[in-house]
Chains A and B, each alone.
Chain A
Amino acid sequence: MAGFKSTERYIASRDLEVAVNAAVTLQRPLLVKGEPGTGKTVLAHEVAQSLGIPLIEWHVKSTTKAQQGLYEYDAVSRLRDGQLGDERVRDISNYIVRGKLWDAFEAEKQVLVLIDEIDKADIEFPNDLLLELDRMQFFVYETRKTIAARHRPIVIITSNNEKELPDAFLRRCFFHYIRFPDRETMEKIVQTHYPDIRKDLAREALNVFFQIREVPGLKKKPATSELLDWLKLLMVEDLPPDALRSNEKHVVIPPLHGALLKNEQDVHLFERLAFLARRGN
């Protein structure tokens, strides 16, 4: 079986490769955690691409119920059709709306299911999916049919750690924590995304970036995706690398910082620290 490896567009560390391959081989879900913006969702896209299988994405929101991933019974439209005397009303299966997991189970070939940000949903959400993800089958109460997966899909689940996941759920998964990339890896990532970026600009930008991450008490530390956005802006604006380490008194914060710092408290905090640092010099 072709394993998952780093691609030109996605740098995966060796431990991530092992975790993905274990999940693929044993056909168990892979739970991926990590700081926002470290490439959890992108991972699923890349795995699907490198294995050459279709990707079914299920984005979880705070209102998402586990049942919606399986199927929903649209009682309201059936009632309405019943009042209007529509013939469709005699067959209940006309009102069963398939969910993402049903689609994945019934697919002709193996697919990859991404359950994105599972921690956003209600605390019971993972528990409600235990059996479905374990056996890869579920029972449709309305039509008395069991839907079983033709090919066990590969399941990748991402979490931002907003809620604790139940133990029973965790036991069934492989787990990988995407650590924040070190400088060397980050250089590689920048290189894969922007092969034609100027070397000196990239170096200066990374200096500033890691410096910002060091600031204690930031509400949202900038992550890989923010860095890439920022670099893109810098490249579009065609700023010289010198602009990033300007020593002028009034310029205390890097240009286009809006891409890196996402709320005014962070900007304010950073300005203050930069000011203090400058005064210290």
Chain B
Amino acid sequence: MFSHLVLGLRSAGLPASITEYLTLMGAMKAGVADYSVDDFYYLARATLVKDERHLDKFDRVFATCFKGLEPTDVLKVQDLPEEWLRKLAEKFLTPEEVAAIETLGGFEALMERLKQLLAEQDSRHQGGSKWIGTAGTSPFGAYGANPEGVRIGQDKSRNRTAVKVWDKREFKDLDDTVELGTRGMKLALRRLRRFARQGAATELDLPDTILATAKNAGSLDLKMVPERHNTVKVLLLLDIGGSMDDHVKLTEELFSAARSEFKHLEHYYFHNCPYERVWKNNRRRHEEVIPTWQVLRTYGPDYKLVIVGDGAMSPYEINMAGGSVEHWNEEAGSVWLERLTGHYRRSAWLNPTPKQSWGHVRSINMLNDVMEGRMFPLTVNGIDDMTKELSR
């Protein structure tokens, strides 16, 4: 009866199963939903969704199935932060040009024009110099020849030299459910665990018990040893978006492997190179940024720092103040990296790009220097080497 809902959920990537569908039918038959659409929605949700991460997806599929609404993902370009435009101007315009723009109405006017264009435009546009579209010479659009252009609505970075990324993209949060193919990585990550005997006495120490009982003339004398606890603490910094697009899958696999291996595992996201701010929730990366200083204060030097990133960026992003593609950074990326590696006694950089190609990218070499050679490829062997390095 509602099989199209379940099929819709499955095609949207929710793990709804036949068992759950039958449960839903059973509950309907038992009259739990009571002919109310709202109740049916709640019931279906309680039956078919088992993780709060999927609630949003479920809502969208439900709406499509029962109201015929198309699920939409609208890019809200109108919300482009004004700060970005200003930064761009400071960087690339001469004072005369700034003055010229001021006479034309200033940046607010420029933003207004952009909004207006977006509103006027009702179809995809390619070429030309006025409309927002792709491959044109207008400063607004994507795939253009002008690297300083405003990039809007482009899924993938076409070449990796864009100076500013303008897409307010919902870089999706790294999905930690990828389990397939991570077995090998799990094995390597297990190296990181250091089995330290500490904590309460919980395990029977058989050899010692036999010895003590024998000494006690056969009357039972139990000896206990503390259970093994995993004491490794890991702080994970993950590069997301931009040039990491190709590597997100690999990173996801690592992430999913790491999640189950450590008791203390903290993760933060950054873009290209860690600067003075990182974030936890990529969807709200502009609202909920966390100062890197706070991360340094919160997680002591006993954490092992693992940075995951491909390190492909413009060298300015590493060694220049203000070189970040996303915001104005007061201090250069290398300063922050040194601060991080100085604070965390054990740190490493995992790079998902093949090791053979590192030599061709200047920024990777620079990062490797900052990390004092502790950059490892994201392969089972690389992780093995990294864990050896980290647990020394």
Binding site for B on A (CB under 8 A): 14-15, 18-19, 21-23, 25-26, 28, 30-31, 33, 63, 76, 79-80, 83, 123, 163-165, 167, 170-177, 216-217, 219, 265, 269
Residues of A within 8 A of B39 (CB): 14, 18
- Do B27 and A22 have beta carbons less than 8 Å apart? yes
Interface string of B41-53 (1 = CB under 8 A from A): 0110111011110
User: Lowest 10 CB-CB distances: which A-B pairs, in order?
Assistant: A18-B42, A170-B50, A19-B46, A15-B42, A216-B288, A177-B52, A217-B290, A174-B46, A22-B32, A175-B50
| B297 close to chain A: CB less than 8 A | yes
Interchain nearest-CB distance for A89 vs B (Å): 13
Residues of B within 8 A of A165 (CB): 50
Residues of A within 8 A of B357 (CB): none
Interface string of B181-220 (1 = CB under 8 A from A): 0000000000000000000001000000000000000111
Bound-state CA distance A198–B42 (Å) is: 35
- Do A171 and B43 have beta carbons less than 8 Å apart? no
Interface centre among A30, A83, A163, A170 (most CB of B within 10 A): A170
Bound-state CA distance A37–B39 (Å) is: 26
Question: Can you list 30 residue pairs at the A/B interface with Cβ under 8 Å?
Answer: A15-B42, A18-B32, A18-B39, A18-B46, A19-B43, A25-B31, A26-B26, A26-B27, A26-B30, A63-B202, A63-B227, A79-B220, A83-B219, A163-B260, A164-B176, A164-B260, A170-B50, A171-B17, A171-B19, A171-B20, A172-B19, A174-B23, A175-B46, A175-B50, A175-B51, A177-B52, A216-B289, A216-B290, A217-B280, A217-B288
Majority-rule SS of B interface residues: mixed
Out of A14, A25, A172, name the residue touching B27 (CB < 8 Å). Answer: A25
Bound-state CA distance A176–B44 (Å) is: 11
- Do A26 and B23 have beta carbons less than 8 Å apart? yes
Bound-state CA distance A88–B260 (Å) is: 45
Query: How many B residues touch A, CB cutoff 8 Å?
Result: 41
Out of B20, B46, B289, name the residue touching A15 (CB < 8 Å). Answer: B46
Bound-state CA distance A217–B277 (Å) is: 11
- Do B219 and A22 have beta carbons less than 8 Å apart? no
Residues of A within 8 A of B52 (CB): 33, 177
Out of A28, A83, A177, name the residue touching B23 (CB < 8 Å). Answer: A28
Residues of B within 8 A of A83 (CB): 218-220
| B123 close to chain A: CB less than 8 A | no
Residues of B within 8 A of A170 (CB): 50-51
- Do A19 and B50 have beta carbons less than 8 Å apart? no
- Do B298 and A219 have beta carbons less than 8 Å apart? yes
Out of B43, B289, B294, name the residue touching A18 (CB < 8 Å). Answer: B43
| B70 close to chain A: CB less than 8 A | no
| B15 close to chain A: CB less than 8 A | yes
Interchain nearest-CB distance for B381 vs A (Å): 27
Residues of A within 8 A of B259 (CB): 164
Interchain nearest-CB distance for A4 vs B (Å): 11
- Do A80 and B294 have beta carbons less than 8 Å apart? no
Bound-state CA distance A93–B260 (Å) is: 38
Interface centre among B23, B32, B298 (most CB of A within 10 A): B32
| B250 close to chain A: CB less than 8 A | no
- Do B49 and A175 have beta carbons less than 8 Å apart? yes
Interface centre among A14, A21, A173 (most CB of B within 10 A): A21
Bound-state CA distance A171–B288 (Å) is: 34
Residues of B within 8 A of A177 (CB): 52, 55
| B287 close to chain A: CB less than 8 A | yes
13 more A-B contacts (CB under 8 A) besides A14-B38, A171-B50, A216-B287?
A18-B32, A18-B43, A18-B46, A26-B27, A63-B202, A76-B220, A83-B218, A83-B220, A165-B50, A167-B15, A173-B50, A174-B23, A175-B47
